[in-house]
């Protein structure tokens, strides 16, 4: 039977990169799709459905309250809006024009391309720290009467101040902390770890390892701030009205989250380790290539999934890692890998059984054809 994407002329990709938005996030499990299909077959009052979803998110994360968002970027926007306005409807109607607190303190290494989500809410970013490090005193010096929140992006092991220290400082000044943990699952314990470390609002992507809809996300944390975010969200909110989440998204995200929490994490890790080791063994003997199984440092999320790392002697092979990446993506079958710090990383997270063999065969073909 012809696959839909083949029928419409869209290239299918073997994903050895990870839960990447540009590749569609993740694959939704059949049982979750079944619930989404059932949700599509009836009308509901959306506020009631969102109330139910919020209670489920809170229960599953251990937070005071929660809600479903239109992805992590939507969660950032609503979090910033909530910290600017509180429950003041007049301020909500004025956004993105702000009179009062609208500054969000961020460490330099945490600015990873989502500034617009802050700006659309009416926020201004105050950057602290440098390329090499950030000191807690630098964060404290940036706090003022205009500070609405500290926006902390989970990017360990970057040279930044840890969340627990940031939260202690922020709370001493009566300032909330927003935590962007979009790609930090697994481990499943992270669903509550960032709340326990002092996060007041914590954001997760629904379309990464949770394997919900790619355009869904989780926002959880303090009940008063979640209430303020909900007041500004679809279907009635002003600044959040464009951030619509469908009934299918909401149901899909909740059932995907339930499924995620029930998975055998140890078995998943064992399976990923086996695939990473198998790919490493097949690629180790190629001239100009050094292969090993490793956990990612910079450039790979989440940190706990073992990958096959390929160090390439570009001079010996006569090509760059970026050129190899391009050949893999444009080949048949198309294969997506990750490039970080001049190295190729093969992530087994979304490889179906047997696809790791296709990946190593194609990678080996490309590498051996160089030089």
Q: In terms of Cα–Cα distance, which of 73, 167, 171, 71 is closest to 121?
A: 73
The whole-number pLDDT of residue 158 equals 73
Region 297-325: mean pLDDT is: 89
The whole-number pLDDT of residue 137 equals 97
**Interval 9-23: pLDDT, tens:** 999 999 999 999 999
The whole-number pLDDT of residue 240 equals 94
**Interval 107-116: pLDDT, tens:** 998 988 889 9
Indicate whether 157 pLDDT > 80: no
Select the more confidently predicted residue: 155 or 63. 63
Indicate whether 301 pLDDT > 90: no
The whole-number pLDDT of residue 74 equals 97
Region 320-344: mean pLDDT is: 95
**Interval 43-61: pLDDT, tens:** 999 999 999 999 999 999 9
The whole-number pLDDT of residue 204 equals 98
Indicate whether 42 pLDDT > 60: yes
Indicate whether 218 pLDDT > 80: yes
The whole-number pLDDT of residue 179 equals 98
Mean pLDDT score across all residues of the chain: 95
Least confident range of 6-15, 106-115, 244-253, 326-335 = 106-115
The pLDDT confidence band at residue 369, using thresholds 50, 70 and 90, is confident
Region 141-163: mean pLDDT is: 92
The whole-number pLDDT of residue 296 equals 83
The whole-number pLDDT of residue 371 equals 59
Region 343-361: mean pLDDT is: 97
**Interval 262-281: pLDDT, tens:** 999 999 999 999 999 999 99
Region 133-148: mean pLDDT is: 97
Quote the tokens at residue 328: 């893999």
The whole-number pLDDT of residue 307 equals 96
Count of all residues that appear for the chain in the document? 371
Region 148-174: mean pLDDT is: 93
* Domains of the chain, earliest start first: 4-22+264-368 (3.90.1150.180), 43-262 (3.40.640.10)
Indicate whether 132 pLDDT > 90: no
CA distances from 91 to 123, 175, 244, 321 (A): 13, 19, 21, 50
What one-character DSSP code corresponds to residue 349? T
Torsion angle of the four alpha carbons 152, 155, 156, 160, in this order, in degrees rounded to the nearest 10: -50
**Interval 64-97: pLDDT, tens:** 999 999 999 999 999 999 999 999 999 999 999 9
The secondary structure element, H or E, covering residue 62 is none
CA distance 181 to 354: 31
How do 307-312 and 343-346 pair as beta strands? Answer: antiparallel
The whole-number pLDDT of residue 195 equals 98
The whole-number pLDDT of residue 113 equals 82
Indicate whether 299 pLDDT > 60: no
pTM: 0.95
Q: 167-198 in b/e burial notation, b at 16+ Cβ within 10 A? A: bebbeeeebbbbbbbbbbbbebebbbbbbebb
The whole-number pLDDT of residue 298 equals 62
DSSP letters for 191-247: HHHHHHTT-SEEEEESSSTT---TT-EEEEE-HHHHHHHHHTBTTT-STBTTS---H
């Amino acid at each position: 039977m012809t696959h839909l994407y083949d029928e419409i002329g869209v290239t299918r990709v073997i994903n050895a990169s990870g839960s990447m938005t540009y590749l569609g996030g993740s694959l939704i499990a059949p049982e979750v799709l079944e619930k989404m299909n059932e949700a599509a077959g009836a009308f509901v009052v959306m506020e009631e459905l969102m109330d139910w979803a919020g209670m489920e998110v809170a229960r599953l994360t251990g937070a005071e309250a929660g809600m479903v968002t239109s992805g992590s970027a939507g969660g950032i926007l609503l979090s910033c809006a909530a910290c600017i306005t509180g429950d003041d409807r007049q301020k909500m109607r004025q956004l993105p024009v702000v009179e009062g607190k609208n500054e969000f303190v961020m460490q330099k290494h945490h600015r990873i391309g989502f500034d617009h989500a802050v700006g659309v809410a009416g926020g201004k970013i105050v950057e602290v720290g440098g390329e090499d490090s950030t000191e807690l005193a630098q964060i404290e010096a940036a706090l003022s009467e205009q500070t609405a929140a500290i926006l902390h992006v989970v990017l360990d092991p970057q040279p930044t101040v840890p969340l627990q220290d940031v939260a202690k400082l922020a709370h001493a000044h009566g300032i909330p902390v927003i935590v962007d943990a979009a790609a930090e699952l697994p481990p499943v314990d992270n669903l509550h770890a960032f709340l326990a470390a002092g996060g007041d609002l914590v954001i997760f992507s629904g379309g990464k390892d949770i394997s919900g809809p790619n355009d869904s996300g989780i926002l959880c944390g303090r009940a008063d701030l979640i209430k303020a975010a909900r007041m500004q969200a679809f279907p009635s909110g002003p600044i959040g009205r464009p951030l619509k989440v469908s009934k299918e998204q909401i149901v899909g995200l909740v059932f995907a989250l339930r499924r995620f929490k029930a998975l055998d994490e140890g078995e998943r890790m064992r399976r990923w380790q086996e695939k990473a080791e198998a790919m490493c063994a097949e690629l180790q003997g190629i001239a100009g290539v050094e292969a090993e199984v490793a956990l990612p440092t910079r450039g790979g999320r989440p940190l706990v999934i073992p990958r096959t790392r390929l160090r390439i002697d570009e001079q010996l092979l006569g090509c760059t890692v970026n050129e190899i990446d391009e050949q893999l993506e444009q080949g048949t079958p198309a294969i997506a890998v990750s490039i970080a710090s001049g190295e190729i990383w093969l992530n087994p997270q979304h490889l179906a059984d047997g696809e790791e063999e296709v990946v190593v065969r194609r990678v080996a073909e490309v590498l051996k054809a160089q030089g």
